Structure 1
Amino acid sequence: MITIISNSKLTASIKHTGAELFSLKNKHNKEYIWEGNPAFWGKHSPVLFPIVGTLKNNTYTINNISYHLPRHGFARDIEFSLISKTDESAVFSIQSNDETLKIYPFEFELQIIYTLIDSQLNINYKVINKTDSKMPFSIGAHPAIALSENFQDYTLEFEKKEALEYSLLENDLISNKTKQLETKEDQIQLNYQLFENDALIFKSLESNSLTILKSNIPYVKVDFADFPSLGIWTKENAPFICIEPWFGYSDTPENSGNLFEKEGILTLEANQTFNSKFSIEIL
């Protein structure tokens, strides 16, 4: 199933599977979200929950019991319910069930709220802990912004001037190796060589947003003020760039396996609610 919301400037289309945004068009019908061609990558903008990235051996423990979770968790593959809708907004929800409890032993509800305001799409995450104990989790976004024509015509500009140090992945885990992005006039020129070792992972940033520019003209702005970490990723020769606000990231090789001890993990108190949001603005 598909739900469509729109205002005078934008139209957003969301699949109920994963509550995944798969289209964001302006009033001239220009598409800003990657089409999902599986020759490169068959997703558009999946939600990452209850983990972000990869667990060591795809395994974690709670109370000395081992559980298995795939990369980025399971929410992106579950059918969400549409629980409310207006012309310009839609609220989707999943709740824990017998199948999720086998791989993630916590009662929860995850809501994803899409709202169009002027030329901006806000995506809100609401995580409700329905368990009478603390609940560890991560959550993140993975929107792929469609880039037409030459990939190298695009640059990234972070909100603040800062040392853009990122962590390197090794075998899908976060290594202790880092590099620093080189800037030219405070911009990062996109090229596929940047991603030869997979995603660029920034554990922390001073910037609250970044802007994608095409030939020095602002194109799309992603605001991630609520999120401490950020991933940036694409595939070789693919016409998209993923700007990924995260709470959490892949395991380190030294990780104990205990989910409560995982670097970057959030812990939600019993019967409490967590809220965060990011936005995609068409410029």
Structure 2
Amino acid sequence: MSDDHVYMTLAEGHDDSDARWAFGTGFEDPLHGVDTSVPDSIDAAELAASCTALGDDTLVLAQRLAEWVTLAPELEEEVALANIGLDLLGQARLLYARCGQADGSGRTEDAYAYFRDAEDFRNVRLVELPNGDFAFSVVRLFVFSSWRLAHFARLESSPDPVLAAIAAKALKELAYHRQYAAEWMVRLGDGTEESHRRITNALADVAPYLQELFSAHDGRSEVLADLQQVLDAAGLSMPQASPVPGAGRHGDHTEYLAPLLAELQSVARAHPDATW
């Protein structure tokens, strides 16, 4: 493996100083050099299921963010959203790689990302909704990042050292994602009459999906506190909304996931034996 394709030690100060984590191209295993044995105290099936769901969240949202390329309101925002999507894709890769180790199947990241159907995905439904306008994507990113931060802060102390290291690295990325989205929420809420209207509508569209996040993982108090701070700064209020029934964690998805996956998986399925 070339050093050009080695990212960095996943978590600074981690006990395994030889743990190098790869992103980019020119490698096959993103967990190369890491002890991936599952501790005896952990239920391997539960660990694999948790990593699959968390990986699905980030893969699907990364695909949605990629759709902003050439469509974002400014080139700077296009680059920012694309880079955030790449961060999420990197998280998905690590989580899927951990799945293949934990469930004993030896499946690769490609198997999880490209060769499962929509009903097999376990992502929350918020991430699969169409992008809508920029305001909706900003609110979704803020809520998702805040919720993910709260959950990954807990996972830093996971008894699985690999998942704990993944969480530790992801926290740094997610903190930036949340800050980016928060700044745009304030800018839109405290901007023109039109921008205020759009961000208000975006909040109304996101609100019905909040309960699913809190049902999937705890973090309600942290997310709501973060959200209220931003709303106060932006001169906004959170609308009341009835939760949308169903749960993506149980394979109950919106009509939008299957077309998204069809696009995402088309090349891999057309050339299943290809290597990249």
Normalising by the residue count of structure 1, what TM-score does the alignment of the two structures yield? Answer: 0.29
Structure in which a larger fraction of residues adopt helix: 2
Structure in which a larger fraction of residues adopt strand: 1
